Structure 1
Amino acid sequence: MKAAVLREVGKPLQIEDVKIGKPGPHEVLIRTAAAGVCHSDLHFVEGKYPFPLPAVLGHESAGVVEQVGSEVRTVKVGDHVITCLSAYCGHCEVCLTGHMSLCTSPDTKRGKGDEPRLFREDAGASTMNQFLNLSSFAEQMLIHEHACVAIRRDMPLDVAALIGCSVTTGVGAVIHTSNVRAGETVAVIGCGGVGLAAINGAAIAGAGRIIAIDRIGSKLNLAKHFGATDVIDASADDPVKAVMDLTGGGVHHSFEAIGLKQTAEQAFRMLRRGGTANIIGMIPVGTTIELHGADFLGEKRIQGSLMGSNRFPVDMPRFVDFYMSGKLKLDEMISRRIPLTGVNEALEELKTGELARSVIVFDH
Structure 2
Amino acid sequence: MMSQVSPVIVAAARTPIGTADHAFASLTVEQLGAPVLRSLLDRTGLNGDEVDDVILGNCMGPGGNVARLTALTAGLPAGVPGLTVDRQCASGLAAIDLAAQLVRGGARIVLAGGVESASTAPWRSWPPVDGAEPVRYQRAPFAPAPEDLDMGLANDLLAAEAGVARERQDAYAARSHARAVAAQQGGVFDAEIVPLATVSRDDRPRAGFTEQRLARLRPAFRARGTVTAGNSCGISDGAAAVAVVSREVQERLAVPGLRVLATATTGVMPSRPGRGLVPAVHLALERAGASLDQVDAIELNEAFAGQILACCDELGLDPARVCAEGGALALGHPWGASGAVLVVRLFSRLVTRNQGRLGLAAIAAGGGMGVAMVVERC
Determine if the TM-score, normalized by the shorter chain, exceeds 0.5: no
* TM-score (norm: length of structure 2): 0.23
Return the structure number with greater relative CO, CA threshold 8 A, min gap 6: 2
Structure with the larger helix share: 2
* TM-score (norm: length of structure 1): 0.24
Structure with the larger strand share: 1
